[in-house]
Amino acid sequence: MPSEDRLKKLEEMERLAELGGGRERIEAQHKKGKLTARERIAKLVDSGTFIELDKFVTHRALNYEMDKVKPLGDGVVTGYAKINGRLVYIFSHDFTVFGGSLGEAFGRKINKIMDLALKNGAPIIGLCDSGGARIQEGVVALAAYSEIFFRNTLVSGVVPQISAILGPNAGGAVYSPALTDFVVMTKKISNMFITGPDVVKAALGQEVGFEELGGAEVNATKSGVAHFLADDEPQAFTIIRKLLTFLPQNNAESPPRLATGDPPDRVEPSLRKLIPDNPQVPYDMKELIRAVVDNRDYFEVHELWAQNITVGLARLDGYSVGIVANQPTHLTGALDIDSSDKAARFVRFCDCFNIPVVTFVDVPGYMPGIEQEHGGIIRHGAKLLYAYCEATVPKITVIVRKAYGGAYCAMGSKFSRSDINYAWPSAEIAVMGPEGAVNIIFRDKISAAKDRNKERERLIREYREKFANPYEAAARGIIDEVIDPALTRPRLISALQSLTNKSEYRPPRKHGNIPL
């Protein structure tokens, strides 16, 4: 064959592969408000950097006349590219081919990408839009999924894994994203569920729609499966690009330090007035975080789920840090099941990828109640204790106001081996809040008093003076320094700088047994 013809054949094959499931299905994809697999990659990565692999792979299925339809690429676009100039591996489901459903060849392509990412120490990004296991391929489709799940687990904590859910994700398609570090979902158009509305109706007689069952909003606010909720696909890609700026390429590297232009010695006198005089009055913890971090840029994770705690990424003097902070505006900042899970997972993520953890504490305790106890607050709350104790990255804690009981221990206390522990003068560190404490230890004294209310008030005042301050803790070295709130930023930065070469020993073991 003349070389010109050979090139023509290649061009023709490329053209066919790029058509995926054909023009009609591409149009249908656009009509639904979705981009195609390749359009998505082009919008996500640095212009012109995507190199596609396995473009001509086809399936080998024979059932249900599958041998008559063999689209090139088999419904998933895979390869590598650069984002912000750094290497990433990508797979992008092509919904126009068998609804993005996963069969043997499709799975192999994804596995190849994951193996390359592991060998080369670079993040993996999955753009998901899939009907789940390809029904016509039977057990090999299940095997293909299982191989992906194995790799998701193998690379967990070695390279960052990010999933964007940009359409339906049914059945097996949800478990791979669930095993990754972060899930981004697009509003109104994406969903994730194990069993769809038809099965729910057949099995339980419950009537529910796609959106209500597993839409982006539900997963971002109720289940916590989604870490980020994007208005549309371009916003989902912006979120991924920004997220990557905070992360190292792999667990052997430190996250990149970027010049932010925000002076490290910047003082913030406004923080002296942040805490209301009345300890029962809430304030917005995110105000504190924004005032302290570089350029007020706080990249919140899980913003809409378990809002009584806030977690996210930011920079301090250009260093990437993970922030964990109680949020008094929601449930008084108490720790419950979901907030414990949320913070524990985030602390563990930071620890995997060498991101120091900065904790701001204002917590009245673990949430009481039948619902919480029966839901397993003991088990879930223990996860947070475990995560902080396990983490060996630099840990810096600032007690801003309340730090009571087990929640004090959990939130990056000295005893979880936090490196530097600051407190503001407004800090209250005790076994429990004054009201509850005097009711228990002075029950007899109060009931014997002539004026019980007056006596109770007096005892509360006394308790508050004794415990509701940082100085008992400072006297025992449990707090390293009581600081002027205005100096929080410079103190955090100097602590961070002093801890850049930190190394901490943990006994060798196969793995710990976090209470899941």
Q: Which residues are near ligand HXC by CB under 6 A?
A: 98-99, 101, 131-136, 142, 145, 168, 170-172, 196
**199 φψ region: left (φ > 0), alpha (ψ -120 to 50), beta (else):** alpha
User: Rounded to whole angstroms, what are the CA distances from 459 to 40, 180, 402, 425, 455?
Assistant: 64, 51, 19, 22, 6
User: Least distance in Å: CB of 196 to ligand HXC?
Assistant: 5
Q: Report the C-alpha gap between 168 and 402 in whole angstroms.
A: 43
Q: Report the C-alpha gap between 402 and 430 in whole angstroms.
A: 8
Amino acid (one-letter) located at 220: A
- Number of neighbouring beta carbons within 10 Å of residue 11: 10
Whether the CB-CB separation of 59 and 106 falls below 8 Å is answered with yes
User: Least distance in Å: CB of 124 to ligand HXC?
Assistant: 19
User: Least distance in Å: CB of 168 to ligand HXC?
Assistant: 4
Q: Which two tokens stand for residue 102?
A: 């996963």
Whether the CB-CB separation of 272 and 238 falls below 8 Å is answered with no
Q: Which is nearer to ligand HXC, 134 or 315 (CB)?
A: 134
Q: Report the C-alpha gap between 283 and 333 in whole angstroms.
A: 10
Q: Which is nearer to ligand HXC, 111 or 136 (CB)?
A: 136
Q: Which is nearer to ligand HXC, 131 or 248 (CB)?
A: 131
User: Least distance in Å: CB of 172 to ligand HXC?
Assistant: 3
User: Least distance in Å: CB of 418 to ligand HXC?
Assistant: 40
Whats the size of the chain, residue-wise? 516
Q: Which is nearer to ligand HXC, 172 or 312 (CB)?
A: 172
DSSP letter for 256, please: P
Whether the CB-CB separation of 179 and 128 falls below 8 Å is answered with no
Q: Which residues are catalytic?
A: 171-172, 406-407
User: Least distance in Å: CB of 204 to ligand HXC?
Assistant: 16
Q: Which is nearer to ligand HXC, 189 or 293 (CB)?
A: 189
Q: Report the C-alpha gap between 102 and 146 in whole angstroms.
A: 11
Amino acid (one-letter) located at 11: E
Q: Which is nearer to ligand HXC, 171 or 364 (CB)?
A: 171
